[in-house]
Amino acid sequence: MEFVEQFIVPKFNYWIYVVLMMIGMHAMIAKNNFFKKLIGMAIFQTAIILFYVSIGVKEGANIPILDHHMMPGEVHANDPVIAAKFTNPLPHVLMLTAIVVSVATLGLALAISQKIYREYGTLEEDDILSQIKLEPND
């Protein structure tokens, strides 16, 4: 019970992300249908994005924007900046870029899957490979 309280509960969100990553990885490796592989890829990418956003969170920290009209007791523009009071925006910015890349990747993969389905009439990997082997060489 001490192990659970010490290692599992405080980082529960990270364990959820690891489980999501493994679900996505399993779908990409074990499934024979291209569409199911794409769903696994989307789950995997989402888990990684959530993982990195969680890394960037800091308890009790402010956003790294200095304002001249802040409430009393907060950091003012003329005060020395203490980095420990601010969150690091880099993980969040990088994950915005990762979201754009994952949407583009998914869109391209769906377009390619549509072309494959039109050509072979299926998205099953085994059926496509057997059709490719039956085609005569030019």
Q: How far apart are CA 39 and CA 86, in angstroms?
A: 36
Handedness of CA 4, 5, 6, 7 (dihedral sign): positive
Residue 37: count other Cβ atoms within 10 Å of its Cβ: 20
Where does residue 35 rank: exposed (0-12), middle (13-18), buried (19+ CB within 10 A)?
middle
* Residue 74 covered by a domain: no
* Residue 68 covered by a domain: no
Q: How many domains, the chain? A: 1
* Residue 99 covered by a domain: yes
* Residue 66 covered by a domain: no
Q: What percent of the chain has pLDDT over 70?
A: 88
pLDDT at 95: 92
- Mean pLDDT along residues 49-54: 91
Task: Indicate if the pLDDT at residue 22 is higher than 90.
Answer: yes
* Residue 30 covered by a domain: yes
CATH assignment of the domain containing 105: 1.10.287.3510
Q: Which residue has the higher pLDDT, 137 or 122?
A: 122
* Residue 70 covered by a domain: no
pLDDT at 66: 63
* Residue 89 covered by a domain: yes
Task: Indicate if the pLDDT at residue 115 is higher than 70.
Answer: yes
Q: Has this prediction a pTM greater than 0.75?
A: yes
| Average pLDDT across the chain, whole number | 86
Expressed as residue numbers, the domain containing 53 is 2-60+85-134
Nearest CA to 37 out of 98, 128, 135, 133 is that of: 128
